[in-house]
Amino acid sequence: MKNHFQKAIGVVCFVASMLCLALTMMCCHSGFNANKNIHYSDVEKIHIGMPLDSVVLILGQPYAFSSDLGCHDLTCKNPRVVSEIKMTKGTDVVHYVDSIYQDTNYCCEANRENMRNIEKHVTLDYTEEPSFLKSIFNSPMFTYPMLWIHLDSNYRVSEVYAKYYGKGWDEKCIYSLSENPAKDSQDNNIELIVDTTLFRKCFPK
C-alpha cells in the first residue's frame, strides 16, 4: 500500500513539473529562425516597386501568403479567409489571390460592402512562427525573427518588414522599408526603431 502511495506521489510530482516547464516556455514566447536560407543581404536587395517574380528570384519561395478580405457580419457562418496559405511548388499566388478578389459570392453583407472599398493586396510570409514543440527542441534562447513582404494590387513590393520576438513576449522592429517610412503599418504599438545589428544576426543564412 505504501509503495503504491509513493508511486502516485511520484507521478503527481512529475506531471506538475512538466506543467511548470510548459508554462515557463509559453511565457517566454519560445521560438527559432524557421527559414535558415534567408541572408540579410538578400533582404536588403528588395526595393519598393519590385515585382513579385523578382522577389522570389532573390529570396526564394515564401513559406506562406495571406490577404485581408475585409469585414464580416457577426452572424457570418463561413467567412472568407485567406490567411497563411501554405506554399507548394504548384501554388500560383497571383492566380489564387485574383480569383478570390474576383469572386462575387460574398459570405455576408458586411463582406460585400467592404470588398468594394478595399484594394487587392497580399502579404508574403518568409518565416514560420514556431510551434510549442519546435521552440523547445530548436532554440534554447527562446527567440525568433519574422519577415514579411507586402505587395500592392499590382503585385509589387509596398513594404518589407521584420520583427524580433524575445523573452517575455518582447517584440521590436529590426528592419523596415516602406513607401511611407513615418508610418509603421504593421504595428502601431511598438516604437519604429530599426536594429540593423540584430537584423543581420537573425538572418545570417
Q: Where are the domains of the chain?
A: 31-202
Share the mean pLDDT of the chain.
76
More confident residue, 142 or 97: 97
What is the structure's pLDDT at 170? 62
Q: Order of strands, edge to edge, in the sheet holding 122-125?
A: 82-86, 64-67, 122-125, 144-151, 157-165, 171-178
Q: What is the CA radius of gyration of the chain?
A: 21
Helix (H) or strand (E) holding 163: strand 157-165
Residue 37 pLDDT > 70, yes or no? Answer: yes
Spell 5-37 as b/e; 16+ CB within 10 A means b. Answer: eeeeeeeeeeeeeeeeeeeeeeebbbbbbbbee
What distance in Å separates the CA atoms of residue 47 and residue 60, rounded to the nearest whole number? 15
What is the structure's pLDDT at 9? 60
List pLDDT tens digits, range 43-69.
Answer: 999 999 999 999 999 999 999 999 887
Q: What is the DSSP letter of 192?
A: -
What distance in Å separates the CA atoms of residue 81 and residue 189, rounded to the nearest whole number? 25
List pLDDT tens digits, range 79-106.
Answer: 888 888 888 888 899 999 998 888 888 8
Q: Which residue has the cell 528592419?
A: 175
Helix (H) or strand (E) holding 161: strand 157-165
Considering only CA atoms, which of 93, 136, 73 is closest in space to residue 82? 93
What is the structure's pLDDT at 123? 95
The answer to whether the CB of 86 falls within 8 A of the CB of 65 is no
What is the structure's pLDDT at 29? 35
Q: Is 16 helix (H, G, I), strand (E, B) or coil?
A: helix
What is the structure's pLDDT at 47? 95
What is the structure's pLDDT at 34? 46
The answer to whether the CB of 174 falls within 8 A of the CB of 162 is yes
List pLDDT tens digits, range 14-36.
Answer: 555 555 444 444 433 333 444 55
What distance in Å separates the CA atoms of residue 115 and residue 173, rounded to the nearest whole number? 30
Residue 116 Cα distances to 57, 109, 111, 138, angstroms: 33, 11, 9, 44
* DSSP strand pairing (64-67 vs 82-86): antiparallel
Cell of 75: 452572424
